[in-house]
Amino acid sequence: MTGGGVLATMDPVRKLVRSQPKIGRHPVAAGQDGRDRHPIRSWECGERARTARTGRTVGRAADPSDHGPSLYNFGGCVEINILGPVSIDTSHSGGGIRAGKVRTLVATLAIDAGRAVSLADLVDELWGATPPDNVLNALQAHAARARKVLNERACPERAGGILRSVLGGYLLEIDPQCVDGNRFLRLVSQGAALLPADPTRAVELLETGLRLWRGPALIDAGEGRRCRGAAALFEERRLTALEDLISAMFLRGGEAQAIAMLQQLVAQYPLRERFCELLMVGLYRVGRQGDALESYRLARKRLDDELGVQPGALLRRRHAEILAQDPVLKVPSALWREPYAPADTSLLSA
């Protein structure tokens, strides 16, 4: 995607924020435990353009080498989507998985695509503390159904060879980049790494990664520890990617769009201090010192009312810098994560 890509043809603020799944109010604040104290309230599907002929998803990075093998350069075998409801797509078919246990099994294996998952871990994910008496037979039956679904949607040369039984477990034998979650992690990591030097390219990569989301990650994959843990980590990476995207937008001169986006995100995630910090810095940089100070006042009140805590050290420091009209607020590094470090891609290899 180039500078005239997806967001150039639509409202770049409302479309991107509204296409992101609304997970509820995110309580992560500096020094807090990061647990979500609010249930999922609603989410809106992101835009995923498809060609009429193949049904393939488009709108990814223009250069496939930017994010490794995908559905298009891996042979058109299979693509498993977990950034939203779990689904399986190929060049000729696609869709969700009806059976709940089969869906959970495919999602669990997709999280570790290319690596074996032990029988014990799969049993724990599917049944938790209450497995059936004939649990191994039940697991084999669900694996057979999952294999059937995968084979029906795979290209002929891979039919029968995607879901494999290995010693002590099962293996989803696909390239990890055929899972949308892995492509997302790679894209946003690359975008963050380019943030200081090439904010325009950073915006392109970060937008492309965020566009892969269709709703809350693994929303229908069950309540097992592996899927819920991965979903929480994916959501944190999504929010971090939004922070990096906004920083890149500021750096390339899109102050008005970035501020409008931040105002929506602060309303959606009022306890996430990084969004408030970026909003304060952005407002100050466009000459709105009073609005920046008011944003801090509101953030402090929200944190006190809902969590009984004061703002974190970084937010307090930004407040002091704005009061003092510190020149540091005008330098590009004021918009980076501190200390600056690109998001890693270790989520699925941990």
User: pLDDT digit string (tens) for 266-305?
Assistant: 999 999 999 999 999 999 999 999 999 999 999 999 999 9
Average pLDDT, the chain: 80
Q: State the span(s) of the chain assigned CATH 1.10.10.10.
A: 79-178
pLDDT of residue 31: 33
Q: How confident is the model at residue 20 (pLDDT cuts 50, 70, 90)?
A: low
Judged against a pLDDT cut of 50, whether residue 13 lies above it is answered with no
pLDDT of residue 156: 60
Judged against a pLDDT cut of 50, whether residue 26 lies above it is answered with no
pLDDT of residue 65: 36
Q: Would the pTM of this model clear 0.85, i.e. be above it?
A: no
Q: State the span(s) of the chain assigned CATH 1.25.40.10.
A: 254-337
Per the model's pLDDT, the better-predicted residue between 55 and 295 turns out to be 295
Judged against a pLDDT cut of 50, whether residue 312 lies above it is answered with yes
pLDDT of residue 339: 44
Kindly report the three-state secondary structure assignment for every residue of the chain: CCCCCHHHHCCCCHHHHHHCCCCCCCCCCCCCCCCCCCCCCCCCCCCCCECCCCCCECCCCCCHHHCCCCCCCCCCCCEEECCCCCEEECCCCEEECCCHHHHHHHHHHHHCCCCEEEHHHHHHHHHCCCCCCCHHHHHHHHHHHHHHHHHHHCCHHHCCCCEEEECCEEEECCCHHHEHHHHHHHHHHHHHHHCCCCHHHHHHHHHHHHCCCCCCCCCCCCCCHHHHHHHHHHHHHHHHHHHHHHHHHHHCCCHHHHHHHHHHHHHHCCCCHHHHHHHHHHHHHCCCHHHHHHHHHHHHHHHHHHHCCCCCHHHHHHHHHHHCCCHHHHCHHHHCCCCCCCCCCCHHHC
The CATH superfamily label for domain 254-337 reads Tetratricopeptide repeat domain (1.25.40.10)
User: pLDDT digit string (tens) for 175-192?
Assistant: 999 999 999 999 999 999
Q: What is the architecture of the domain spanning 79-178?
A: Orthogonal Bundle (1.10)
Q: How confident is the model at residue 332 (pLDDT cuts 50, 70, 90)?
A: confident
